[in-house]
Structure 1
Amino acid sequence: MLNTKNLTPKQLAAFTAFVLSVPISLGIWFLQGNWVEAAVSFVLITTGSYFLIFTIIQQFIYRKLKLIYKFIYRTKASKKQEMYYKHILPQKSIDEVRQDVEAWGEQQRREIEILKRNESFRKEFLQNLSHEFKTPVFAIQGYIETLLQGAMEDPQTNARFLQKASRNVERLVNLIQDLDEISRLERGELKLNKQGFVIQDVVKEVFESLSLKAEQHHITFTFKKGCEQPLGVYADKEKIRQVITNLVDNSIKYGKEGGTTTASMYNTDGKNILIEISDDGMGIPDAHLPRIFERFYRTDAGRNRDVAGSGLGLAICKHIIEAHGHSIHVRSSEGVGTTIGFTLRARRET
């Protein structure tokens, strides 16, 4: 049996006209007994039916399809699209049109899911942002109110509360600066001043700058055995210093008391250098790993810890490394520790 599923409008009109004209012509031949008259009737009926059916399909069905396509593209048709509607669309079978509409529907479904997910992230981001601002603001408010209620008369209390208020003001300033920086990074406004330098030297400088903070938690800084050999990279030195500082600082915050922060560097393929910062702290649950580079995202255990920071450090690190054309990754196991690494372009030796 003829499959009419994928027929074009012209083929469908011709097939329908043929189906109509055959029994009529056979009836005329049977009643009149004149095959010439029957043949002429067949030609006339087929021709007339074909043009009539094709016109109906062209003018009615494809006018509706044209409206559907205009709705899908949500725009006033350009000259190119009008040519498509006039010449290409009528050549499509109904099944092809159905596939186009189904593809559009699937695309809309995916976009709606992305919008819902983004809306969820937006609400979570605003909630986290509110929390990050609320904590220092309420602390400052409490200190000032206490001072105004009479604590100013006690010089020791006065100085202590002002120092605490000052630290919270500094926290707010750092938060605002980090928000401004990540906004510029997301807009693609980061300008890189690339140069060649030894990555171990930068890590040593970061270790020295955070040594006092590490001593408070009895954390030891070290290089992994075999990674002492100097490796040159080509990148923005100050931005990479910022990345390493954030990673080492996090290893102190979430590392265990008396633990170790280890830096390792590898020449992976002669073109790229892999840098990793590892700790032996609490670790991160697998469910949280895909989201740790989001703004303000913290695990439940991380939130319960009394640690300062804007919550934007890892998000900033991710943007800086991606601006260099590379990627940042994380490996972690609960109770074992966390390793965060990234790659940089190797410096070409001259």
Structure 2
Amino acid sequence: MTIKNPHVLPEQPLLARLQRNLIGIFLISFLLLDGLTFAVTDTLFRHDLLVHAKQNMSQIWQKQQDDETQEILRDDFSFRRTSDNFITTWDIAASGHIVQSVAYGPGIPFPLKNILPFYAHLKPTHHASFVIIKRGSLQILIGTDPLWHHGRFVGWIQSVYSLGEMQIASRVLGKTSLIVAGIMGVLAVVLAYGLSKRNIMPIKHALQRQRDFVHNASHELRTPLSIIQTSLELAQEDAQGEVKSFIDSSLLEVHYLTRLLTHLQRLAQQDSGILALDYQWFNSASVIEDVINSFRDSLQQAQMTLTSHLTKPLMIYADPTLFKELLIILIDNAIKYGQQGGNQIVVESQATGRSIRIKVSDNGAGIPPALQTRIFERFFRASPQKSHGFGLGLSMAAWIVHMHQAHIHVHSEPYQQTMFVVEFPLPRSGSS
């Protein structure tokens, strides 16, 4: 399994991302609420217009409920028009013939040739019914009401009402809603920014207090640890037997605490986001060899061998201090976990196109697949009961890689090979 580019960010970018997420959630909620409000308003608006149209039709039908109209329908006279060009209401005999038309004019009138096809929507029902159809780009409401003469069904009265006004009004309502939503959206962004900033402030204060404590504690403890280390080293020169063994053990613990303080100080710098990198060109092979030499005693105690395959010279553009710290973390990690079933570490470096690739591998127990996605998390340890560490090394390695805009990969096969690969980009020609 290969894990690539772990997501590790300093405190400030994380807080900025949290603030952006809060603003995004607020805006999405606002847009959803605005959309729901528009949908409900548009639905109620259309409903009111339909009710108004149906009331207009009912008024026309009441006027048509007279003896003359019913006699015309009963006798099934031939069609005669009251308007040559427009019609909005017409009477249909039980036989299906259109026998009379009346132009009362509710809604927008239509040419006669566009009205006659509506007859096809006549439903053979003995109670009032309404149907909405589309004619071109307009919606049209058709109402049908039965007519009775002395208890005998004689035909229907059918009316048409254009819903064009409703469509126009809906479009105007939609445009108005978009304009209002835009104005409210700008105000919402300002309000969301203020609210999110206010909500994040306690988190910032808490992180600041934590950072100050870590920085101050590591600074205050470094001096007494240096004194203890110097005293033990002086005592070590004349010690023998069990006393020397005790002093050696104590020095190991002092070195462990010193490394912990170094990590804590770097952690405070990492969280503050104020650390400036000192980029410069240097020979990476020389730095790698110096780091390897510093691990000779540790390798001997762990009974492990370290083989290097380095391209010499290999110039790299990076921060030398952080580059060295990255190598120390990766090699120390290989020694620590390579002992569990393995005995060999390999360090390689090479140039690949526009990048410098550094590899550190071991043949130890490896990293279980379920844990490979978490090894770059701060304070995470794959085997807390077996490892002597504090879960900061790989987290800091990922942070160093992030600060250099580089990439880190891990590939692990249990008891075969665990390899960390770091690729540092080279600057383009002309940059410095």
- TM-score after normalising by structure 2: 0.48
Distance 1:291 1:192 in 2: 27
Match of 1:260 in 2: 344
Structure 1 residue aligned with 2:264, among 175, 179, 182? 179
Is the 8 Å Cα contact of residues 232 and 346 (structure 1) preserved in structure 2? no
Is the 8 Å Cα contact of residues 233 and 347 (structure 1) preserved in structure 2? no
The alpha-carbon distance between structure 1 residues 223 and 82, as it changes in their structure 2 partners (threshold 3 A), is closer
Match of 2:380 in 1: 297
Alignment of 1:8-19 (within 5 A): 9=42, 12-13=46-47, 16-17=50-51, 19=53
Q: CA deviation at 1:21?
A: 3.7
Q: CA deviation at 1:176?
A: 3.9
The alpha-carbon distance between structure 1 residues 317 and 216, as it changes in their structure 2 partners (threshold 3 A), is same
Residue-by-residue CA offset, 1:231-254 (whole Å, 9 max, x unaligned): 211000111000001111111111
Structure 2 residue aligned with 1:81, among 162, 170, 184? 184
Match of 1:209 in 2: 294
Q: CA deviation at 1:283?
A: 0.6
The alpha-carbon distance between structure 1 residues 244 and 173, as it changes in their structure 2 partners (threshold 3 A), is closer
Q: CA deviation at 1:321?
A: 1.0
The alpha-carbon distance between structure 1 residues 42 and 349, as it changes in their structure 2 partners (threshold 3 A), is closer
Alignment of 1:304-315 (within 5 A): 304-305=385-386, 307-315=387-395
Q: Which of structure 1's runs of 4+ aligned residues deviate more than 6 A?
A: 35-38, 82-85, 155-163, 347-350
Structure 1 residue aligned with 2:273, among 154, 175, 188? 188
Structure in which a larger fraction of residues adopt helix: 1
Unaligned regions of 5+ residues in structure 1, if any? 1-5, 67-76, 86-154
Matched, 1:341 2:421: yes
Which SS does the other structure have where 1:262 is aligned? strand
Distance 2:56 2:273 in 1: 70
Q: Which amino acid aligns with 1:330?
A: V
Which SS does the other structure have where 1:42 is aligned? coil
The alpha-carbon distance between structure 1 residues 23 and 258, as it changes in their structure 2 partners (threshold 3 A), is closer
Q: CA deviation at 1:43?
A: 5.0
Which SS does the other structure have where 1:174 is aligned? helix
Match of 1:281 in 2: 364
The alpha-carbon distance between structure 1 residues 177 and 223, as it changes in their structure 2 partners (threshold 3 A), is closer
Distance 1:31 1:84 in 2: 57
Q: CA deviation at 1:348?
A: 6.9
Q: Percent identity?
A: 25
Equivalent residues, number:
248
Distance 1:259 1:82 in 2: 62
Q: CA deviation at 1:345?
A: 2.4
Which SS does the other structure have where 1:230 is aligned? coil
Is the 8 Å Cα contact of residues 21 and 42 (structure 1) preserved in structure 2? no
Match of 2:405 in 1: 325
Matched, 1:30 2:64: yes
Residue-by-residue CA offset, 1:238-297 (whole Å, 9 max, x unaligned): 11000001111111111137722111223222x111111011111111111111011121
The alpha-carbon distance between structure 1 residues 277 and 84, as it changes in their structure 2 partners (threshold 3 A), is closer
Match of 2:316 in 1: 233
Distance 1:210 1:166 in 2: 16
Is the 8 Å Cα contact of residues 357 and 424 (structure 2) preserved in structure 1? yes
Distance 1:223 1:159 in 2: 34
Residue-by-residue CA offset, 1:282-317 (whole Å, 9 max, x unaligned): 111111111101112111xx3332x43332111111
Distance 2:186 2:327 in 1: 57
Match of 1:89 in 2: none
Q: Which amino acid aligns with 2:271?
A: E
Which SS does the other structure have where 2:303 is aligned? coil
Structure in which a larger fraction of residues adopt strand: 2
Structure 2 residue aligned with 1:219, among 300, 304, 329? 304
Is the 8 Å Cα contact of residues 278 and 339 (structure 1) preserved in structure 2? yes
Which SS does the other structure have where 1:290 is aligned? coil
Q: Which amino acid aligns with 1:297?
A: F
Which SS does the other structure have where 1:291 is aligned? coil
Structure 2 residue aligned with 1:242, among 306, 325, 330? 325
Q: Which one has a bigger Cα radius of gyration? A: 2
Is the 8 Å Cα contact of residues 200 and 228 (structure 1) preserved in structure 2? yes
Q: Which amino acid aligns with 2:381?
A: R
Q: Which amino acid aligns with 2:65?
A: L
Alignment of 1:126-141 (within 5 A): none
Match of 2:283 in 1: 198
The alpha-carbon distance between structure 1 residues 231 and 7, as it changes in their structure 2 partners (threshold 3 A), is same
- TM-score after normalising by structure 1: 0.58
The alpha-carbon distance between structure 1 residues 235 and 167, as it changes in their structure 2 partners (threshold 3 A), is same
